[in-house]
Chain A
Amino acid sequence: MQIKVENLKYTYSPKTPFEKVALDDISFTINDGDTIGIIGSTGSGKSTLCQHFNALIRISHGKIYVGEWELHAKKLNLGALRQAVGMLFQYPEYQLFADTVKEDVAFGPINFGKSKEDADILARYALELVGLDYDEIKDKSPFELSGGQKRRTAIAGIIASRPEVLVLDEPTAGLDPQGKKEILDLVTELKKSYVKTVIMISHNMDEIAEYCNRVIVLNDSKLLYDTTPRELFSDKEKLSLTGLEVPHAVRVKNLLEARGIVLQGTPLTSKEFVELFKGGAPCAK
């Protein structure tokens, strides 16, 4: 499903003293199969933009096309759209509510019109996919789980509905390095099956560099760049405008460069860095 955003504008509390422009004239296209990172400093409008994709925020100015749906149209089949565009919020474990884990995960599929049996099957599949032992966990209360298990349960609650597009708002916030890696590997795994497109907000540039094929930079409610991670992180001038950090691999490369060891190309991950370092002979001054 292609997602096309045209001249999107959004203002919070218009015509009051609390008025704040959150998005200003944003246009870009997300293609089928993209894993797209949305980055920018806090308050740059990332979350607001993402909440447009499944019509949680209705469009006031501009247009968005999600596959067949025209989100700027007055009448919209919200159920079908939200089933197709799954959205994981920040700290999704705070949305758990049901008596048992199974019920909580089946909440989405049932809302989207699945029968109870089908929803249970989907819940089982989703819980196993996120790496939880279904039989052990299904009848537990979601509130007695550990933090990591809660996060996985919440993610299972989204993917149980089998969305084609997955929108993730800082999916790894507050997790330890191991947990972060597991979540992102899960996203990679999902992209091999029914999830076609992933849209990911993150403050962690290493994650963006490793997992995204495209990146969109928002700054002060405006779209600053729409490019690939490699291009973005190899351009120091571009980056200095945004105040964003660079991935660790790029940072090490830049530090080496400052000491006179120039590596050709931009390594995005530690693996790439090692390859580059071994292959390209470092030319000392």
Chain B
Amino acid sequence: MREVSFGQYYPSGSKVHALDARVKLLLTIAFIVMVFLVKSLYAYIAVAAFILLVTLVSRVPVLKVLKSIKAIIFIVIIMSLINLFANAEGKVLWSWWILTISEGGIITAINLALRLIFLVMGTSLLTYTTTPMELTDGMESLMYPLKLIKVPTHDIAIIMSIALRFIPILMEEVDKIMMAQKARGACFDRGGVLKRAKALLPVLIPLFVSAFRRADELALALDARCYNATPNRTKYKQAKLGWGDLVATLVTGVFITLVVAVNNNFWGLY
């Protein structure tokens, strides 16, 4: 199977992997909020240190976490460029035609780039250390309040987990079909964009056919086992909060406090 570096589960059996998915989800949300509050360079260093710490504890290779940036690098560059030219506050450093670069522009561009990068690194750490199943179970559990206003949270969760479960299956299927067509002389990496897109047709059509077939089969199998989303379903894996979750929450809490303090120059560092 091909390698997918974006947010694929990376088992290493670390303490971070063992945390409750709900706790990890909430902490990730807290982390995202924190990243968007940060303004000063020192605070960014603290955020980077925090990510490094979590990465080391989770025993996911640092390089793998860094690689997750690759997926968004274009967005980062484009957004930074737009911000660089759009913000004209402060001293003007360079100007040509309608383009001007000012101090304010540079600062917002750097801010934005760092925020996006830290955002993706933080969330990819979540998916590296949490299986899709744990994640959806966690989300279902966190969505509990919505159940009170008759939102079908369980249905949403099962749809999500089925969708996630099917990604690797369909990718394997793509590989298989591509190989079969290659064996018949198909070529996917030659010619212009149009030719390449057309060359994918012999892969996409069988893929769609098989996706529908699988969906039908799955629906039948669920029916055959009398699956329904009754309110009192039990879980095979019961999520329980443990001491590790408390420690993780405390550590993250301390870090967030620290970052906010540094950000607001609480100790007069700069």
A residues with a Cβ closer than 8 A to B are 12-13, 16-17, 51, 54, 56, 79, 82-83, 86-87, 89, 92, 94-98, 107-108, 111-112, 143, 157-158, 161
Contacts and interface: CB of A to CB of B under 8 A. Distances in A.
Contacts of A96: 206
A82 B185 contact: yes
A17 B179 CA distance: 25
A143 B209 contact: yes
A111 B186 contact: yes
Contact of A111 (B3, B180, B184): B184
Contact of A161 (B12, B181, B184, B187): B184
B184 A94 contact: no
Interface of B: 1, 3, 10-12, 176-177, 179-187, 201-203, 205-206, 209-210
Contact of A13 (B1, B201, B206, B210): B1
B75 to A, nearest CB: 27
Interface-central residue, B3, B11, B177, B206, by most chain A CB under 10 Å: B206
A143 B205 CA distance: 11
Provide the main secondary structure of the chain A interface.
Answer: mixed
B184 A157 contact: yes
Interface-central residue, B10, B12, B182, B210, by most chain A CB under 10 Å: B182
Given A17-B10, A111-B187, A95 B3 contact: no
Given A17-B12, A94-B206, A97-B202, A82 B1 contact: no
A107 B1 contact: no
Contacts, number: 65
B210 A82 contact: no
Contacts of A111: 184-187
A107 B2 CA distance: 26
Instruction: Give the top 8 A-B pairs by smallest Cβ distance, nearest first.
Output: A111-B185, A108-B184, A95-B180, A97-B205, A87-B183, A97-B202, A89-B180, A112-B185
Contact of A56 (B183, B205, B206, B210): B183
Nearest to B209: A143
A17 to B, nearest CB: 5
A211 B210 CA distance: 32
A56 to B, nearest CB: 5
Contact of B177 (A12, A94, A98, A158): A94
A108 B182 CA distance: 9
14 contacts: A17-B10, A17-B11, A17-B12, A79-B185, A79-B187, A94-B177, A94-B209, A95-B177, A95-B180, A97-B203, A97-B206, A107-B184, A111-B184, A158-B183
Nearest to B184: A108
A79 B1 CA distance: 23
Contacts of B180: 87, 89, 92, 94-95
A251 to B, nearest CB: 34
Contacts of A89: 176, 179-180, 183
Contacts of B177: 94-95
A271 B16 CA distance: 64
A107 B183 CA distance: 11
Contacts of A82: 182-185
Nearest to B213: A94
B223 to A, nearest CB: 23
B202 to A, nearest CB: 4
